[in-house]
Amino acid sequence: MAEAELQIASRVRVGTASWTDPEFIKAGWYPDEVKSDAEGRLRYYADHFPMVEVNASFYALPTIETVEAWRDRTPDDFRFHVKAHQVISGHPCDPGRLPAPLRELPATLDKRGRIRRPSRELRDAVIDSLLESASALGPKLGAVLVQLPPFVVSGARQREELARIVDRLKPARAAVEFRHRSWVEPGERERAAELLAERDAAWVCVDAPRVEAKSAMPPIVERTSDALAYLRLHGRNAATWTTGRSVAERYDHVYVEEELREWIDPVIEMAERSQEVAVVFNNNARDYALRNAQQFREMLSAAHGRTGGDEPVIGGASRASSP
């Protein structure tokens, strides 16, 4: 393989949106000797994939000791993308999930007693706490994934607060997933892309059911950071997208080869223009994400005629292209 292709090959990391999902254990992906062992599961996962998203940090801020354990149980070139806590991204949050000192900071609660509108003081304190622990990953920290709620629509105030959050997250890089179609309407898409590009933050491209629901983002390819391009695949189960009562129900879909193939060229293009590409399978029903992640890596390798090695070959994406 040519030198340029080898350099591109090292840029794509394919993995899943968790390594602790109970569905993986139920499906039997982890061997019996590690399925009840937290350390063993992470080591086993890292033997098979070069990257993972940390989903647990969305629900509870991890301790430095926990993050240090993740770091120490994975290879030197492993990558973690850490999901921003729900207070940061604006999802409703049970105050009891926060460390005691943060519960005293001001916030507006909803009828169920959940934090509905955190004060700027609270949001910044949660950001700082997450950064303090995530920094223990050192060079293994890829980005902090800010997954906006599907009820957050595009607008001047929303862009202003998003810009503030991304700036506050520095020196960590942010990756932002928009989940309401208003963000990609004409004019709004350009404004959102400019906001992220000015801050070297990654636009998270999405694969979702091809339905008209406002929360089902179209398969748009955007690249706003030279350092990182990002793709998350949620499955295409249109029947459960808005009605699923659990994550496993909503993302209950196993990709077939034809569906995965739609993303081969866009991911290749992303890698040609970015230092690194994260491809994350979030169809976490049973072992679907794990199976599709491995399948996608093999398809990328085959696309460039590779016969072996751990990293698939890829290339870079045009701002206006779509799969």
Given a cut of 80, whether residue 142 has pLDDT beyond it is yes
pTM over 0.75: yes
For all residues of the chain together, what is the average pLDDT? Answer: 92
Mean pLDDT of 124-143: 98
pLDDT per residue over 47-83, tens digit each?
999 999 999 999 999 999 999 999 999 999 999 999 9
Domain locations along the chain: 3-303
29-33, 230-234, 301-305: the lowest-pLDDT one? 301-305
More confident residue, 214 or 8: 214
pLDDT per residue over 261-274, tens digit each?
999 999 999 999 99
Long-range contacts at 76-79 (CB < 8 A, ≥ 24 apart):
77/50, 78/46, 78/50, 78/51, 78/140, 79/13, 79/50, 79/51, 79/52, 79/140, 79/141, 79/142, 79/276, 79/278
Given a cut of 90, whether residue 190 has pLDDT beyond it is yes
What's the confidence (pLDDT) of residue 320? Answer: 34
5 pLDDT band, cuts 50/70/90, is: low
Given a cut of 70, whether residue 205 has pLDDT beyond it is yes
245 pLDDT band, cuts 50/70/90, is: confident
Mean pLDDT of 248-256: 92
What's the confidence (pLDDT) of residue 246? Answer: 85
pLDDT per residue over 299-323, tens digit each?
998 886 543 334 433 322 233 334 4
Instruction: State which fold the 3-303 domain adopts.
Output: TIM Barrel (3.20.20)
| R_g (Cα) of the chain, nearest Å | 19
Given a cut of 70, whether residue 297 has pLDDT beyond it is yes
